[in-house]
Amino acid sequence: MKFDLLETVEYGGCSAKLAPSELARALQGLAAVDDPRLLVDISTHDDAGVWKLSDDTALVQTTDFFPPVCSDPCEFGQIAAANALSDVYAMGGRPLTALNLVMFPQQRIPLAVLREILRGGMDKVTEAGAVVVGGHTVDDFPPKYGLAVTGVVHPDKLITNASAQPGQDLVLTKPLGTGVIAAGRRIGEVEPGAYRASLDTMKQLNAAAAAVMAESGVRCATDITGFGLLGHALKMADASGISIEIHAGSVPLLDDAYRLVDLGCIPGASFRNQSFAEERCSVASSVDYNRKMLLFDAQTSGGILCAVDHDRTPDAVAALHERGCPHAAVVGRVVPGKPKKLYID
């Protein structure tokens, strides 16, 4: 059945997240949990929570859902599922089970569309080696879909956003620009091939990236989603107590993303991310406006930014290329703490 989900939303995917500054205000004053079994909590704004069950097993728990980011229902389901599963991969974990989270207007959109969304989600969960064990539905418009995911990780192999060390290289596993491409699709400006490439990268699981991180001894990473590359890098810098240099010209971009920004196709989420992070950034005059705004672009099912020991970086990047991440690149490095948290050149 033909039904264009993009016609139901003004903005979708991870662009629909609350602004990071507003989220920080909402969380302010909430009591912290003091329990030695809680290995990762909300204090570092990491990708998932981690609870230690035993000396060799910890649970990784996360959830993510959003309005449509593309036109096709099945592809929307695949992207939303890949995005939710990514949080487990970013922590070094292995997904086990998933629960569907569904908000769907049963009187306004044919139920066959929902069936396709769920089919797409199940396809990705199955590809990840996990199983869908149930879910919850609410009648709501516009439609939204995602997963609550539980995974496992060995406590000694846990990856967090709080363990970057000066001298490490920063590797990004997917190109940026999914937010801009989706906005370009809505206004009919994006090149068809570029739109297809954006869908393909959003549907790609970060499983290969997780495997390479494990092989490379990575202990610090975060996946790049709604707060953009710079927003998530800032959270990594804060949690790790370091500063980060980003080489803007080395950051991979999706085809047509730069042209769209040059046309003025910049989603509102980019400006919200800019407001959150820019005061704590030092941006060199050589970085042009278009590229800077792409560094703030809200990504949906984006890649993983990981801190890799310098001597292991070449092998890690080569392994990523061999395993289906052709755009993986070194985009910066970790440096000792400075007055600003992020330095973009």
Torsion, CA 328, CA 334, CA 338, CA 343, rounded to 10: -20
d(CA 247, CA 282): 12
As a residue count, the chain comes to 345
- What is the DSSP secondary structure assignment for residue 19, as one 8-state letter? P
**Single-letter amino acid code for the residue at 145:** Y
Q: Identify whether the C-beta of residue 83 lies closer than 8 Å to the C-beta of residue 225.
A: yes
What is the spatial distance between Cα 345 and Cα 102, in angstroms, rounded to a whole number?
42
Residue in 123, 273, 128 with CA at minimum distance from that of residue 208: 128
Active site residue 306: no
Count of other CB atoms within 10 angstroms of residue 152: 16
- Residues in CB range of 60: below 8 A, 6 or more apart: 48, 49, 50, 87, 88, 91, 93, 149, 150, 151, 152, 153
Token pair belonging to 42: 């909300």
Give the tokens for residue 130. Answer: 């996990």
> What are the start-end ranges of the H helices in the chain?
20-27, 73-90, 111-127, 178-186, 192-203, 207-215, 228-240, 257-262, 268-277, 289-295, 313-322
Given the residues 14, 70, 306, 325, select the one marked as catalytic: 14
What are the residues whose beta carbons fall under 8 Å from the beta carbon of 280, sequence distance 6 or more? 234, 340, 341, 342
d(CA 67, CA 143): 6
Collapse the DSSP code of 176 into the 3-class scheme (helix H, G, I; strand E, B; otherwise coil) and give the result: strand
Q: Which residues are catalytic?
A: 14
